[in-house]
């Protein structure tokens, strides 16, 4: 089972990978354009950490119906 901190780390690392891919001039233009297109709506590390914080706070208040998806912490990375 994937833990929230693992999912958070994975999404943040994917954003970094797509950014590097979009900027790498050794990669074909079509691939760079696809990476840039995906990044337009892909969450940043900051977005994911904020989502984790919101989910954790909602859960503390009894508002979370499901388990947390993301984590607000990077300690387990």
- List, for residues 33-59, the tens digit of each pLDDT value: 999 999 999 999 999 999 999 988 888
d(CA 10, CA 77): 10
- Residue 64 pLDDT > 80, yes or no? no
- Residue 24 pLDDT > 70, yes or no? yes
Whole-structure pTM value: 0.82
CB 71 within 8 A of CB 52: yes
DSSP 23: H
Tell me which residue has tokens 């990044």. 39
Q: What is the rounded average pLDDT for all residues in the chain?
A: 89
Helices 4-23 and 29-39, packing angle to 10 deg: 140
CB 5 within 8 A of CB 77: yes
Residue spans of the domains in the chain: they are 4-60
């Amino acid at each position: 089972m994937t833990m929230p901190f693992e999912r958070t780390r994975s999404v943040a690392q994917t954003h970094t990978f797509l950014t590097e891919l979009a900027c790498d001039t050794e990669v074909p233009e079509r691939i760079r354009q696809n990476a840039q297109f995906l990044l337009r709506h892909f969450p940043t590390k900051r977005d994911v950490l904020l989502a984790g914080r919101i989910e954790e706070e909602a859960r503390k208040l009894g508002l979370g119906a499901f388990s947390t998806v993301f984590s607000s912490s990077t300690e387990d990375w």
